[in-house]
């Protein structure tokens, strides 16, 4: 297990910029945008008041939340089902008084299914709309899919000339795209019009693990067409390392810079950020963290003994993307844009409230961490 300590100087938090994850590539520099509308223009279109549907929320379904961490390529079915049902509830335009009929969109046969799937064509034909404000983007992590293959072969450190790394790249993508397929299906079964989008296949690449080229026009057009894009952490080509692992947390920050959602939610397997690894019985949940203009951050709630400012983090040995440390740094960069970030535990009343954007930092009954810009 690796260990890290974060202090509040914020030196590692990247500059906000329109479409560079690290701030090294700026607005006018869109020569690398391939195909479709240039990204900056598409982003402006998305943000302009005339745009009918500003993005409401970008959600990370953490790998730790939706997979069984200790078991290779094993989905935590109950957590995944709950996350998808809660997402549907958060998107629902009904007032919740009448029970809603969910019309599933996964029309393929599943292993063990005895009969052909039932397609409710008449039910769909009779609907005026889906009754969902589906203007969400979903990004998921790898959990027990992908991280193992990547760490065994060293894909995150690059070096594609090595046949082991090349094989590991292929194995990582097989693993994480198969998880993506299962998540898209789980969302579709809840009647959410989800479409899978792989960063590597979209031509995204990195420079030292930070996004360097990431055309989002297909994501924006899919949102406009009423779909919910479902992206994931992926193995990608890297300008200096040859190849690396792009974390879902980095993707979320990039998309937040581009789409300025109302709020961002990270669902994981713990209630939020603690002052030390939550396996320590004395760990204290940090309920509110404030980020200033320079990227420095301070713990607003609770007041810690001696005004302590450090957060102690442990990272699993096979984790190729930095675990909770990466999440906090990316969350702080998002908060700096003025977008509130909620980190909380999947399959709880707290995750439902976060997905609805119904979090009030002054009430004590919400369990999670809010990361927001200093007022």
Ligand X SMILES: Nc1ncnc2c1ncn2[C@@H]1O[C@H](COP(=O)(O)OP(=O)(O)OP(=O)(O)O)[C@@H](O)[C@H]1O
Binding site for ligand X (CB under 6 A): 62-65, 141-143, 248, 268-270, 273-274, 276-278, 311-314, 321, 323-324, 327
Query: How distant is the alpha carbon of residue 128 from its chain centre?
Result: 31
Answer left, alpha or beta for residue 156, where phi above 0 means left and psi between -120 and 50 means alpha: alpha
Report the partner that residue 320 touches, choosing among ligand IP8, ligand X, none (CB closer than 5 to 8 A by kind): ligand IP8
- The pair of structure tokens assigned to 339 is 């977008």
- The pair of structure tokens assigned to 38 is 């240039």
Given candidates 135, 180, 215, 247, which one binds ligand IP8 under the rule CB under 6 A? Answer: 247
| Identity of the residue, 33 or 175, whose beta carbon is nearer to ligand IP8 in the bound complex | 175
Regarding 177 and contact with ligand IP8 (CB under 6 A), the answer is no
Instruction: Quote helix, strand, coil % in the chain, to nearest 5.
Output: 30, 20, 50
CB of 175 to ligand X, least distance (A): 12
Q: What sign does the CA torsion over 355, 19, 287, 270 have? A: positive
Report the partner that residue 291 touches, choosing among ligand IP8, ligand X, none (CB closer than 5 to 8 A by kind): none
CB-based closest residue to ligand IP8 = 233
CB of 189 to ligand IP8, least distance (A): 23
CB of 213 to ligand X, least distance (A): 23
Q: What is the CA radius of gyration of the chain?
A: 20
Report how far residue 46's alpha carbon sits from residue 258's, in angstroms, rounded to the nearest whole number: 9
Around Cβ 73, how many Cβ atoms within 10 Å?
17
Regarding 176 and contact with ligand IP8 (CB under 6 A), the answer is yes
Quick note: the x/- pattern for ligand IP8 over 47-66, rule CB under 6 A, is: ----------------x---
Which stretch of DSSP H or E encloses residue 340? strand 340-345
- The pair of structure tokens assigned to 259 is 């789409």
- φ, ψ (nearest 5 deg) of residue 92: -60, 135
CB-based closest residue to ligand X = 141
Regarding 257 and contact with ligand IP8 (CB under 6 A), the answer is no
Which stretch of DSSP H or E encloses residue 341? strand 340-345
Regarding 269 and contact with ligand IP8 (CB under 6 A), the answer is no
| Identity of the residue, 134 or 144, whose beta carbon is nearer to ligand X in the bound complex | 144
**Contact window for ligand IP8 (CB under 6 A) among 116-124, 206-214, 230-238, 306-314:** 230-238
Which stretch of DSSP H or E encloses residue 373? strand 369-373
Report how far residue 356's alpha carbon sits from residue 56's, in angstroms, rounded to the nearest whole number: 9
Regarding 8 and contact with ligand IP8 (CB under 6 A), the answer is no
Regarding 172 and contact with ligand IP8 (CB under 6 A), the answer is yes
Report the partner that residue 298 touches, choosing among ligand X, ligand IP8, none (CB closer than 5 to 8 A by kind): none
Regarding 320 and contact with ligand IP8 (CB under 6 A), the answer is yes
What is the rounded end-to-end Cα distance, in angstroms, of the chain?
37
CB of 138 to ligand IP8, least distance (A): 12
CB of 231 to ligand X, least distance (A): 12
Contact 191, 103 (CB under 8 A): yes
- Measured CA to CA in angstroms, residue 134 lies from 38, 228, 313 at distances of 24, 6, 35
Regarding 190 and contact with ligand IP8 (CB under 6 A), the answer is no
Instruction: Please list every residue from 321 through 350 that binds ligand IP8, using CB under 6 A.
Output: 321
Report the partner that residue 259 touches, choosing among ligand IP8, ligand X, none (CB closer than 5 to 8 A by kind): none
**Helices (H) then strands (E): counts for the chain:** 10, 15
| Identity of the residue, 139 or 241, whose beta carbon is nearer to ligand X in the bound complex | 139
**Contact window for ligand IP8 (CB under 6 A) among 38-46, 123-131, 243-251, 254-262:** 243-251
Report how far residue 76's alpha carbon sits from residue 114's, in angstroms, rounded to the nearest whole number: 24
Report the partner that residue 288 touches, choosing among ligand IP8, ligand X, none (CB closer than 5 to 8 A by kind): none
Helix (H, G, I), strand (E, B) or coil at 202: coil
Q: What sign does the CA torsion over 200, 40, 211, 134 have? A: negative
Report the partner that residue 270 touches, choosing among ligand X, ligand IP8, none (CB closer than 5 to 8 A by kind): ligand X
Instruction: Return residues touching ligand IP8 (CB under 6 A).
Output: 63, 141-142, 146-147, 150, 172, 176, 233-235, 245, 247-249, 320-321
């Amino acid at each position: 297990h690796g260990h890290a300590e974060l202090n509040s100087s914020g030196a590692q938090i990247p500059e906000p910029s329109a479409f560079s994850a690290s701030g090294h590539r700026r607005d006018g520099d869109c020569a690398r945008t391939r195909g479709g509308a240039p990204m900056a223009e598409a982003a402006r279109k998305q943000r302009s008041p005339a745009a009918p549907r500003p993005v409401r929320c970008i959600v990370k379904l953490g790998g730790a939340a939706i997979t069984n961490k200790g078991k290779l390529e094993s989905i935590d079915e109950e957590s995944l089902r709950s996350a998808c049902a809660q997402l549907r509830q958060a998107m629902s335009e009904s007032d919740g008084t009448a029970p809603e009929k969910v019309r599933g969109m996964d029309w393929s046969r599943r292993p063990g299914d005895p009969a052909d799937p039932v397609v409710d064509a008449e039910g769909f034909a009779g609907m005026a709309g889906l009754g969902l404000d589906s203007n969400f983007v979903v990004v998921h992590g790898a959990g027990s899919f992908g991280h193992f293959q990547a760490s065994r072969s060293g894909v995150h450190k690059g070096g594609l000339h090595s046949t082991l790394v090349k094989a590991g790249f292929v194995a990582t993508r097989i693993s994480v795209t198969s998880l993506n397929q299962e998540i898209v299906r789980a969302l579709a079964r809840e009647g959410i019009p989800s479409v899978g989008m792989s960063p590597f296949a979209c031509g995204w690449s990195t420079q030292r693990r930070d996004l360097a080229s990431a055309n989002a026009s297909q994501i924006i057009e899919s949102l406009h067409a009423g779909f919910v894009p479902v992206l994931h952490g992926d193995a990608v080509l890297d300008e200096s390392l040859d190849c690396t692992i792009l974390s879902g947390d980095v993707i979320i920050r990039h998309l937040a810079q581009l789409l300025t959602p109302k709020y961002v939610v990270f669902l994981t397997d713990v209630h939020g950020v603690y002052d030390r690894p939550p396996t320590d019985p004395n760990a204290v949940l940090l309920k509110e963290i404030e980020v200033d203009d320079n990227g420095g951050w301070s713990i607003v709630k609770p007041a810690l003994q001696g005004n302590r400012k450090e957060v102690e983090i442990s990272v699993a040995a096979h984790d190729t993307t930095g675990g909770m440390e990466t999440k906090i740094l990316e969350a702080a960069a998002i908060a700096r844009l003025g977008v509130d970030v909620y980190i909380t535990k999947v399959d709880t009343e707290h995750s439902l409230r976060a997905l609805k954007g119904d979090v009030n930092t002054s009430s004590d009954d919400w369990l999670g961490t809010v990361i927001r810009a200093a007022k």
